Structure 1
């Protein structure tokens, strides 16, 4: 043991040093980690507010888009009323033009008024289409203007007959005026859902009426022109109606009545599903029903259901004005009701847009004020905590902060106050401990002198026991020194005894080492023999496994062959069924050929009778002289035709007999094929049975081979376990030999250590 001198500086270094607060830890992270808490809260609030504004903006966009669509709808509705006027005046123009070309004196003034009304309606329509920025509608309106102008010029020039003028005006009405309603609905987005679907709105019902009525009004109104034409063809009242005219009248009536019923059912369905529409459309609907009943009832009673004509053109025409007025009043009221509904929807959308802008702004303002209050409530206590923490870092302990909240910040403030009080107590306690440490330092100096003597080997020295903490330590060291002296005496005696024992152990380990070497050699030889046996059994196991795999392949091949035979049986069964069906159809074909033969015989008889009849007609014509000359020519032609028919039937009869003979041959061939298919089916069935037996035997063989392979594999595993055990024995023997050698080396080291221990113990002064 070396002596370690202790200086006064070393004593000072052992004094407790005052604790210093560590500097601020480096902050890791990006800009967000260096940002104040208030700004972080404000940033999060701005992100949430941005998301809120984005959602509100999306809602406002949708509401505004709906409002824009409603504005387009309203523009389309405002174009529908002039379109109704255009349609009505086009029909009136057709009637007045026909009357004008027919020579009626009062038709000129009516025709002029209708032309003016059409011009005003088209101008209004064009103006509205241009204001709505709908160039396609403008083109269609200009096309209608051009068509009507050309029509009027042809009427004024007398280039049309009354029938041609009616046809041309009807074409303009059907091809250009009526499709204008659909174009307006398309270009102004006046779309509608199926009114029969659940949740259909008033707009949907009204658009169904506006779409249905223009399409069916010409068909329903044609009852007048067709009935007038047919009544004029019959003549005066009381005359019988020819069957052909009555049939035509019935067909015309049914087509017009079907168009009328489509219009009435559409309006009825709309009024039944909406109380508001019922109040607006019921009056004109009742007028339409009563006027159509009068008009259609007159046609039905006087022309369709009567054998004699019980009406006339004047009576039918008298019912037309009331019907036309009711039809167009219903259409116009539907268009006006659509405008009311659209204006109401527009007002609702405007209110929604205002609510979508104002309400979110109010919510955002209130949220901002509340957030500002919350941020102040968080940042003010945090700022006070931060200032007090910085002062504590400078060593100014004892600060306390007022606890103004009961949340996490209040808990943190309370914890800070407790920590500050505890730090103040610790500082006072440190001052007391400093005085005690100075007294302790003096006692330690005295005790160090004693310990220096003890360190030099004098175990008879003892330290002074004081009343402080060091007294217990000195007392313990004194006791330890006494016990150490006694222990060293005992160790000295044991060291002498250990030297003798280590020599004896060294001789014993040499004998054990020789036996362990022999054991390890024998274990290695046995391990080699077991390894050879293991290799042989493993090769047997591989051969058994290959045999089992071959058996499984044979089983798989037999199963595939059995499946192929099964498929062959199914295919032959299908062939047998198809051949039987072909035989049945060919037999039916033979029966049909017999029926054809009967028809040919009938035709042949008709030809013979026709020939005889033509001969009799020729005789009668010859007896009639010159008056029967032309009839004689016809009779000759009929007789020639009968001869040709007779010759053709003869050829057909010959062909049918050939076909029947060939059909009989085919039937015989099909029956032979059916028998051969039956024979093949039985042979294939027998082959399938044999393959199933082979598959059963192969499966048993595969099972036996797999059992042998499994048993051989178990033997391999057992021998491998024996091999592993022998290897372990050899390893253990080798380890035992190594352990004996290590023990011998340890005995030698122990002998040297005991000698060194005796040498070291000789320097100590031990108590008597």
Structure 2
């Protein structure tokens, strides 16, 4: 499987096998433990339920016998009912336990208990009937000893045997769980030993392949080191000639770089002046825009004032209509008050009080009419003031519109200035950019020339060092062969 693979691939396969076996061991351990725990829980739960049911069955029988004996003593209806209730509970427990138990011996014992319980129930029913018919305790006791006791004792013994069988089942289940746990532990140990053996085999195989591949690689290194030593000697001579030529090129490029930098500085100053001019023009344009916005706000506020004044005029007109209605009501009230006074004077003594009230109503109507006239006068004044305000506002709105048109003309002039300055600035930036690109190109050429000169010197030094390293590498390859233990020299 590992033939034709690199050492890294073989190492990956070996590690993968070891990891797989380790994971298999872990998974097996987890599954085994889960199986053991589940089996143990099932066995303990089942055995506990069966044992509890058997013990409850025995306790219910004892309570039933106790209530039956109490009935034989006092012949009370309560004890008879308790005896019957315990018998019903006993039968329910017996049926539940019969459905849960799986052991054949326990099922047989439960069938025996059911048969004995039927006999015992019939005998106790007969005794309870006889007890209701007589008060002779001695005769009842002798009859009970003759009929009930011979059945009760086997029934109690059968219940005790059932409890023993269930306890034996619990012990057997516990032993089975322990056996499964032992088997799981053995399986885990087996996988652990298999994993260890596999890891050792993989390590031995990788060690053997390492020795073989390193031996072959060292042979190639020895042959290559000889060739490298010869090539390094040639690089030493070529590097010296190249370093001399590059030194002359570097001097010429340095002079050209100084001239390019001077041109770039001059173009940058011109570009900066153009940018400042453009910024000032744009600031003026922004100020004009802000002023136009303020004028627009004023125009909007003037329009709102006109609308409010017109609404106020409409409201004052509505109030005038209401005042006219009040005046009319006051006149009618005054006429009604005069008529009431005339009628009251004709009524004699009985209409005198009514005449006083009518007089007060007439005075109130007079005051209301006078107030309505004053309100009408005030409304006329307000209406005149509103009309005056509307006219003044219209004049102000026209002045605002004229100012806005003038600001538009000024804005157009500033925008033309900004456009011209922007065009000038773009041209200056193009000049500056071209000069900078030229300077950058010269600097790059200078750096490249310097690097080439430096590399030439370094190449010469590296060639000398490479020659020494090649000789040292040949010595190290021999030492590596001895360390790996391939037996080659």
TM-score, normalised by the number of residues in structure 2: 0.44
TM-score, normalised by the number of residues in structure 1: 0.29
Of structures 1 and 2, the one with the larger relative CO (CA 8 A, separation 6+) is 2
